[in-house]
Amino acid sequence: MDTEDRPQIYLLTPPSFDTEIFPSQLARVLDTHEIACIRLALASSDEDLIGRAADACREVAHARDVALVIERHVQLVERHGLDGVHLTDGARTVRHARKELGSDAIVGAHCGVSRHNGMTAGEAGADYVCFGPIGDSNLGSGDKIEDDLFQWWSEVIEVPIVAEGALTEALIAQYAPVTDWFAIGEEIWREEDPSAALDRLIKAMG
């Protein structure tokens, strides 16, 4: 696949990390690969911890002209100088987030495996729609992506589509022709050398 036609990489942070260590790991990945956007995807509900993580990642990302969005927490976007929010409840709060953050902010929506939710989120003003998990996973409901969802979306819908969840080199090769972004996180952070792991996944696009 031509480099210009390759899907872009949407990088997810780990669900928890040491704010003294992770920013340098993130910097190494950003310095060795072209990243379209980063999502701060912390599992924590500790506002102070999330705020410190947001500030640390923002410094690294913005120094390299990479956008940083935060998962779920609309109210923390402006407070920490972030670029937008990634919503995890499908289309439900897209209009609210857009009203709160304005037209320039990034508002993305994870819609699970629901084509209908994805279309509704796009109509409500989402900048991208994320579907997944793509690979086999025992997490969540266990529902699987329809075989033709990405093919159909790429032909019919203009809103960018993101493939996420349990990605492997084989799945990346399979979905590369029909997705705009791959959301990659745990697939590389669990490896000893995240940058090298990401390199292998990018090469799998062809």
Write out pLDDT tens, residues 19-62: 999 999 999 999 999 999 999 999 999 999 999 999 999 999 99
Reported as half-sphere exposure (CB side, CA atoms, 13 A), residue 42 has a value of: 22
Q: Please answer whether residues 162 and 179 qualify as being in contact, where contact means their C-beta atoms are separated by less than 8 angstroms.
A: yes
Residue 180's CB is within 10 A of a number of other CB atoms, namely 18
Q: How many domains does the chain have?
A: 1
Residue 52 lies in domain: 3-203
CATH code of the domain covering residue 101 = 3.20.20.70
Output the pTM of the full model. Answer: 0.96
Average model confidence (pLDDT) across the chain: 95
pLDDT tens sequence across 91-140: 999 999 999 999 999 999 999 999 999 999 999 999 999 999 999 887 77
**Residue 143 dihedral angles phi and psi, to the nearest 5°:** -65, 150
The contacts of residue 22 (CB under 8 Å, 6+ apart) are 13, 14, 53, 56, 57
